[in-house]
């Protein structure tokens, strides 16, 4: 039977939190379509560092903790979903838990069970031992799993999956839990498979420029390890201190270095994957070139754990640049930003490593909300661009940048500009772009979208949406545009005093339809998760979605891997092989 999907608007607030706690405390069995996962769909921009976020989040002031969703700190956007639990899946029993413990060799740290069902004094100040696995890092998506397993080896995970497959238990693979679309936490009572203890760096080959890691290695740890050998990871994310390599690969994470090193689809050379039935698929080659058959590993890159669980990764780790420059420019039109990008590609060529833009509305918000920031240029401009170069010889990079500055000034592409004179100044310039997200959070409610559009026309969505909203909502609703212009990736944000149905209806599905009509992507880098599983139709045609269902059917015919995610409910249902045929 297809999973029933009902769209309703349920604000996740303190009452929901209390209800969830009550549910956890009261031991009961959920079956059939009775269980309802209430998820507040709240995308966020991950372009800032997680630790920076933590530092700017004033817990004292609002009295909230990480497990609680403080409405005043919420940013939001997108419709809310209530997705019914699929009664096809089994429920975890004591026998299953005992089996999992055996799978991890009796290691107590390898299986975490819910404490609320067994103890009257709840651990961790009233919380449950499973909270950290059930709730995403933003506290927006709340699952109800009763058990998390933390294998230390591929063999342990293989045994765990074989059990889950045999018992038809749904599973959610989890890395650093830093995702933005609810892909890494359970929707209901799925078994959480956390890869955090598979965290060995297997090898670093300086000659080949290739590193092999287990899925649980934190991005920043790999970066440190390869930096010590003069290399770098071709991927940099705000969440790098927490996100795991397996999660990065499974979400095809984009990030700040994409302009320079391209996507993970080119950088990842090999994978080891545990399949839904526990079989191990060994695609762990470290070769740059291999044309023997279909490139199966690409299926698992960006599949968000719905086709298999990535356990090991071979990834290119190129030589690290030794010299970095940052410049900030003011421009009088978006067309000039595009012209500047073209000139930067031509003149900075091989050293261009980032090209980010933001509009004046975004800068105003930063200056208004964040202490210690100041207008970077003498006069306000409608648009700003941050250009970063990374090269191997300082004098060459500086000379290229100076020549570039001269040309863009002479051609009057820019109004004004400033070059970071030292590391601190460069950081301050970057900050204006990086902290827009934080400023938005402080400013009130915000609807957030992560969209790819044709570069030259990208900003039209911002102006079109402004024109659409202004008559009805006036100046209280601000539409902001910023993002990775070099990658054609717009972060569209609608800042307002509070969330209203009227405003949401004015934005959606308009934004998705606009994106569809421009042949853009409704998720440039964040993935679909549980938040945008139904929205895939705006970026992929029906035949493509149908074929994705065929891939799901081929690799996970019981549908136990990360259910309720990525594909629309109807596609997922069609992908299931009837129990009678399994």
Q: CA dihedral in degrees (435, 438, 440, 442; nearest 10)?
A: -140
Residue 207 interacts with a copy of itself (CB under 8 A): yes or no:
yes
Distance (Å, whole) CA 507 – CA 493: 11
Q: Which of 119, 393, 407, 577 is the binder for a copy of itself (CB under 8 A)?
A: 393
Residue 521 interacts with a copy of itself (CB under 8 A): yes or no:
yes
Taking residues 298 to 317 in sequence order and writing x for each that binds a copy of itself by CB under 8 A, - otherwise, the string is xx-xxx---x----------
Residue 79 interacts with a copy of itself (CB under 8 A): yes or no:
no
Residue 291 interacts with a copy of itself (CB under 8 A): yes or no:
yes
Report residue 271 as tokens.
């994978």
Residue 348 interacts with a copy of itself (CB under 8 A): yes or no:
yes
Q: What is the CA radius of gyration of the chain?
A: 24
Q: Which of 79, 405, 456, 570 is the binder for a copy of itself (CB under 8 A)?
A: 456
Size of the site for a copy of itself (CB under 8 A): 97
Window 526-555: residues binding a copy of itself (CB under 8 A): 526-528, 532, 535-536, 539-541, 543-545, 547-548, 550-551, 553-555
Q: Which of 87, 321, 382, 509 is the binder for a copy of itself (CB under 8 A)?
A: 321
Residue 175 interacts with a copy of itself (CB under 8 A): yes or no:
no
142 vs 260 by CB, closer to a copy of itself: 260
127 vs 183 by CB, closer to a copy of itself: 183
Distance (Å, whole) CA 417 – CA 429: 11
Q: Which of 252, 325, 493, 495 is the binder for a copy of itself (CB under 8 A)?
A: 252
Window 93-152: residues binding a copy of itself (CB under 8 A): none
Distance (Å, whole) CA 368 – CA 480: 14
Using CA atoms, how far residue 55 sits from 48, 49, 220, 328, 576, in Å, is 12, 10, 18, 25, 45
Non-local (6+) Cβ contacts of 313 within 8 A are 212, 213, 214, 215, 245, 246, 249, 268, 270, 271, 272
Q: Which residues pair with 501 in a beta bridge?
A: none
3-state SS assignment for residue 450: strand
The 3-state secondary structure of 249-309 reads HHCCCCCCCHHHHCCHHHHEEEEEEECCCCCEEEECCCCCCCCCCCCCHHHHCCCCCCCCE
Residue 347 interacts with a copy of itself (CB under 8 A): yes or no:
yes
Distance (Å, whole) CA 4 – CA 26: 26
Non-local (6+) Cβ contacts of 521 within 8 A are 451, 452, 515, 539
Residue 346 interacts with a copy of itself (CB under 8 A): yes or no:
yes
Q: Which of 487, 530, 556, 576 is the binder for a copy of itself (CB under 8 A)?
A: 487
Report the first-to-last Cα separation within the chain, whole angstroms: 16
Residue 349 interacts with a copy of itself (CB under 8 A): yes or no:
yes
Residue 2 interacts with a copy of itself (CB under 8 A): yes or no:
no
Q: Which of 227, 265, 394, 505 is the binder for a copy of itself (CB under 8 A)?
A: 265
3-state SS assignment for residue 184: coil
Q: Which of 247, 420, 488, 563 is the binder for a copy of itself (CB under 8 A)?
A: 488
74 vs 154 by CB, closer to a copy of itself: 154
Window 185-204: residues binding a copy of itself (CB under 8 A): none
Window 213-242: residues binding a copy of itself (CB under 8 A): 230
From 25-33, 134-142, 265-273, 418-426, span contacting a copy of itself (CB under 8 A): 265-273
Supply the minimum distance, in Å, between the C-beta of residue 137 and a copy of itself: 19
């Amino acid at each position: 039977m297809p999973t029933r999907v009902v769209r309703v608007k349920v604000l996740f607030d303190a009452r929901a939190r209390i209800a969830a706690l009550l549910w956890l405390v009261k031991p009961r069995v959920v079956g059939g379509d009775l269980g309802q996962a209430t998820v507040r769909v709240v995308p966020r921009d991950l372009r800032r560092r997680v630790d920076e976020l933590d530092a700017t989040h004033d817990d004292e002031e609002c009295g909230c903790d990480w497990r609680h969703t403080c409405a005043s700190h919420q940013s939001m956007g997108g419709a809310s979903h209530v997705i019914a639990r699929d009664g096809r899946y089994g429920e975890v029993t004591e026998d299953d838990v005992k089996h999992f413990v055996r799978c991890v060799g009796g290691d107590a740290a390898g299986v975490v069970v819910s404490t609320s069902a067994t103890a009257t004094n709840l651990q961790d100040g009233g919380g449950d031992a499973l909270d950290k696995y059930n709730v995403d890092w933003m506290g927006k998506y709340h699952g109800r799993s009763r058990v998390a397993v933390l294998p230390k080896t591929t063999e342990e995970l293989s045994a765990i999956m074989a059990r889950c497959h045999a018992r038809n238990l749904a599973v959610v693979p989890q890395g650093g839990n830093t995702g933005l679309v609810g892909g890494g936490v359970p929707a209901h009572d799925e078994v959480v498979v956390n890869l955090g203890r598979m965290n060995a760096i297997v090898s670093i080959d300086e000659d080949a420029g290739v590193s092999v890691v287990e899925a649980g290695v934190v991005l920043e740890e790999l970066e440190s390890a390869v930096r010590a050998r003069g290399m770098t990871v071709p991927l940099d994310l705000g969440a790098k201190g927490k996100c795991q390599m397996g999660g990065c690969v499974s979400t095809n994470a984009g990030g700040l270095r994409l302009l320079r090193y391209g996507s993970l689809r080119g950088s990842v050379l090999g994978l080891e994957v545990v399949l839904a039935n526990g079989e191990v698929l060994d695609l762990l080659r470290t070769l740059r070139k291999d044309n023997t058959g279909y490139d199966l590993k690409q299926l698992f890159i960006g599949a968000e754990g719905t086709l298999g669980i990535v356990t090991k990764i071979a990834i290119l780790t190129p030589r690290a640049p030794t010299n970095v420059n940052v410049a900030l420019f003011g421009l009088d039109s978006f067309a000039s930003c595009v012209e500047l990008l073209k000139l930067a590609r031509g003149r900075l060529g091989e050293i261009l490593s980032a090209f980010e833009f933001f509009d004046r509305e975004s800068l105003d918000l930063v200056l208004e909300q964040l202490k210690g920031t100041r207008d970077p240029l003498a006069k306000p401009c409608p648009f700003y661009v941050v250009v970063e170069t990374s090269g191997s010889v300082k004098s060459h990079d500086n000379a290229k940048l100076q020549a570039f500055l001269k040309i863009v000034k002479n051609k009057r592409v820019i109004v004004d500009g400033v070059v970071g004179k030292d590391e601190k100044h460069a950081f301050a310039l970057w900050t204006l772009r990086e902290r827009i997200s934080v400023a938005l959070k402080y400013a009130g409610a915000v609807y957030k979208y992560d969209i790819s559009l044709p570069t030259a026309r990208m900003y039209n969505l911002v102006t079109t949406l402004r024109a659409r909203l202004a008559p009805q909502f006036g100046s209280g609703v601000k539409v902001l545009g910023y993002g990775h212009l070099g990658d054609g990736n717009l972060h569209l944000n609608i800042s307002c005093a509070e969330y209203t149905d009227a405003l949401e209806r004015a934005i959606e599905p308009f934004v998705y339809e606009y994106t569809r009509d421009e042949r853009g992507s409704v998720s440039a880098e964040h993935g679909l998760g549980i938040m945008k599983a139904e929205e895939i139709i705006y970026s992929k045609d029906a035949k493509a979605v149908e074929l994705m269902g065929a891939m799901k059917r081929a690799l996970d015919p019981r549908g136990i891997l990360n259910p309720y995610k990525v594909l629309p409910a109807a596609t997922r249902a069609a992908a299931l092989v009837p129990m009678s045929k399994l």
